[in-house]
Amino acid sequence: MYFEYFKPKTMGETISILEKYGEQCALIAGGTDLIPKMKSGIVKPEQLVNLEDVQELKRVEYDDQNGLKLGAMATLRELEATQVVKEKYRALYEGMHSMASTQIRNTATVAGNICNAVPSADTAPALIVLGAKVKILSAEGNRVVAVEDFFTGVCKTVLKPGELVTEIMIPVCEENSASTYIKYTVRKALELAMVGVAVNLKAKDGICEDIKIGLGAVAPIPKRADQAEKFLIGKELTEENILQAAEIASQDDCSPISDMRATAAYRREMVKVCTKDAILKLMRK
């Protein structure tokens, strides 16, 4: 395999390369998804752009007004070790912590995980329920897209030729809210999600004021369980209501497939179990 290799040091230099070569380019952040695809011949870029030296993409910032901002080159391991992520954005922390091995997380990035856009991406359901947005840059300027609108199909996103994700922005968590992510796998480590469920719950006096449920690995894209959310908002968080919401999520809000790892029916059942368990877990906090 032959390709031109670029290692820009600034965003301006990066954008110039992307503007010149467009869809022939492949961007490499951690490379944990891209390099295996290149080795297997699934991806054959004519130009490879390594973002490692672009310092503007490595920042991690938090404040009580604007929330959390993650540069596209911030690694999973770096974010895992950031106390504010662990304390305030628990679903994201648990999603990252469940991925691969420590060695992989030392290199892999959140931005790379969502740009790869596989349905089982562990950070995607968490980012969706936390209301995250991505900042996208090209020679034409910036645009901002909600993570729940970022995915368009299996391994497909809204990114156009010449564009790259520069930042992920997660708003300040609301008062009386908490989040979690449950990943169902056969093995406890080094395994893709068979089902992934993230929940961000805002409750007071046992009443569900707001809830966001994100599903992974059970549809062509990571997505919200809209019908389950609508059912539960405004209701008392009784076991009966939670079970009903979980049932709705498993039947109305997902479209799993059968493959070598699980049948569609089994995935639906685990959506029900994981959704129920995630809500009950948050109620105990």
How long, in residues, is the chain? 285
Backbone angles phi, psi at 257, to 5 degrees: -110, 165
**Residue-wise pLDDT tens digits, 27-37:** 999 999 999 99
Ranges of residues in the chain whose predicted pLDDT is under 50: none
Tell me, yes or no, whether 64 and 112 share the same domain: yes
Domain that holds residue 132: 55-170
Q: Rounded CA gap, 96 and 77, in Å?
A: 8
pLDDT at residue number 231: 98
The answer on 165 and 79 residing in a single domain is yes
Number of domain units in the chain: 3
Nearest to 125 by CA among 192, 215, 193, 210: 215
Condensed to tens digits (0 to 9), the pLDDT of residues 88-143 reads 999 999 999 999 999 999 999 999 999 999 999 999 999 999 999 999 999 999 99
CATH code where residue 273 lies: 3.30.390.50
User: Within this chain, do residues 68 and 42 fall inside the same structural domain, yes or no?
Assistant: no
* Same domain, residue pair 36 and 67: no
| Same domain membership, residue 46 and residue 59 | no
Q: Find the CATH number of the domain harbouring 41.
A: 3.30.43.10
pLDDT of residue 186: 87
Parallel, antiparallel or unpaired: strands 47-50 and 25-28:
parallel
Query: Are 31 and 85 in a shared domain?
Result: no
Backbone phi, then psi, for 102, in 5-degree steps?
A: -60, -40
Structure-token pair, residue 157: 């996103």
73 and 165 belong to one structural domain: yes
CATH number assigned to the domain comprising residue 137:
3.30.465.10
187, 267: one domain = yes
